[in-house]
Chains A and B, each alone.
Chain A
């Protein structure tokens, strides 16, 4: 019996991808912090810029969750937490998503109100190298800067997310896409103000907050689903994970197994849970169970701490 158990270890061939993903996420955090700094510096009274600020703070959550997750997956279960620490990530995800969802909703309502009351945004000039520069141009420059890092980093993360089957990384790559799209909308919002279309600020902010709500909502749904032990899915969450069916098939191929049924859940990037088997007879049962466990664990690198449980029947 292995209680408390060993921590999950990434197979050696996945290590380079994992290290690369970690480096990309550290880079993302650095760039996003710099973007938040630049946006804060030129924010003024523009709704667009407020919305972009929230969007960028929101996009800090997945990389931080990913890095914390990678650290905790190395941490062995102990006497206090017999199942380990993997779920801290889902909890962090959930609380951050909830907070940012609220902020996104606030910006959305605020922008709609500003549009409804026809409040024109005032943008002044600032002194730069002895000249008066309209702050709007600096906002455009900040927004263009904020397009580039997420555009590049997001594209680099997608293949790694697939290889590592990491949903936090996949979510992050998607949020990066939302980030740069939102920044493009923001550029048009500010350019609209420059041309005297006061409403373009609120309209861009509404588009951006819709993007924030979409991100926040999908984060929240994913983390709630994981905390509720939803059936494993593919990395983009669209299809069922083929691994449980494959386990059932492989185990049923063993001569002593009459029937097998896998009940697995996702814990971060790993799959864990029980496989119920109905043996044809009780001969050498302990040895056979060990064999079944080994077969099951050999099917996919993500299987961790799977228990094979003998039962008389799968019917209730």
Chain B
């Protein structure tokens, strides 16, 4: 092999010298439309889509786990949230066109809006599973009566051939129940191996506002340990309000 074909390390050393300071620079990535900077000089416009226990429509101030998180986030940024109620379609269109800074409403990574808005990284994962009263267990839900609180769990159970009993709130457990894992923790039940679904929760920001989304990602990651108890608290309060 002749010498001119040999690998020369100098360009790579130079490239690393250029890249290292860029990457360690903390104000990157920046927002093309300056959302992070703007929400610090005016209220943060937050679109709300009703979806208990994530976003709860109450008399007066909105409630819910995501509402509470965003209150804290706004506080951390030194701004105040400005709530805008609406349906999913109008809220997503607004945030897609930078008319809102954020939309919350229990959205998951499966949302078909993912190509149009800027979703955060999944900040909370829940597994919807079947549990039974202590001392009992089931191998399958086929032909079994199962209690469920929400429509999503109900549909999944029906697909698996279960007989579903829909209730507003699971109170006394006498047979198998299906609910998210954080909810099952508050009931006197033992988990089975039957997992119905695995859901990843996200929030919607304007598309491409990577600096704002990164800041929100970091905030939500910090809050991760307290999320399950926050959800339990919010869903309990919601039931009381009912």
Listed in ascending order, the chain A residues whose CB lies under 8 Å from chain B are: 45, 119-127, 132, 134, 136-137, 140, 144, 148, 151-152, 155-156, 158-159, 191, 193-198
Contact = CB atoms under 8 A, between A and B. Distances in A.
Interface of B: 1-2, 5, 7, 12, 15, 19, 22-23, 28-33, 115, 117-121, 205, 207-211, 213-214, 217-218, 221
Given A125-B217, A127-B221, A136-B210, A120 B1 contact: no
11 contacts: A45-B115, A120-B32, A122-B209, A123-B29, A125-B217, A132-B214, A144-B15, A193-B210, A194-B29, A195-B30, A196-B211
A120 B213 contact: no
Given A122-B209, A193-B29, 5 more contacts: A122-B208, A122-B213, A152-B7, A196-B29, A198-B32
A126 B32 contact: no
B1 A122 contact: no
B214 A159 contact: no
B218 A125 contact: yes
Contacts of A125: 121, 213-214, 217-218, 221
A136 B12 CA distance: 20
Contacts, number: 85
B208 A124 contact: no
A120 B31 CA distance: 10
Given A132-B214, A136-B210, A152-B7, A194 B221 contact: no
B119 A124 contact: yes
A148 B221 contact: no
Contact of A194 (B7, B28, B209): B28
B1 A159 contact: yes
Contacts of A195: 28-30
B207 A126 contact: no
Given A159-B2, A194-B30, A197-B32, A124 B121 contact: yes
A159 B5 CA distance: 9
Contacts of A151: 7
Contacts of A126: 121
Contacts of B221: 125, 127, 132
Nearest to B34: A196
A122 B30 contact: no
B147 to A, nearest CB: 35
A156 B5 contact: yes
Contacts of B118: 120, 122
B216 to A, nearest CB: 9
Contacts of B208: 119-122, 193, 198
Query: Which among A45, A124, A156, A159 has the greatest number of chain B C-beta atoms within 10 A?
Result: A124
A125 B122 CA distance: 10
Nearest to B213: A124
A124 B209 CA distance: 10
B121 A122 contact: no
B207 A122 contact: yes
Contact of A120 (B19, B119, B207): B207
Contacts of B211: 196
Contacts of B121: 124-127, 132
Contact of A122 (B28, B33, B210, B218): B210
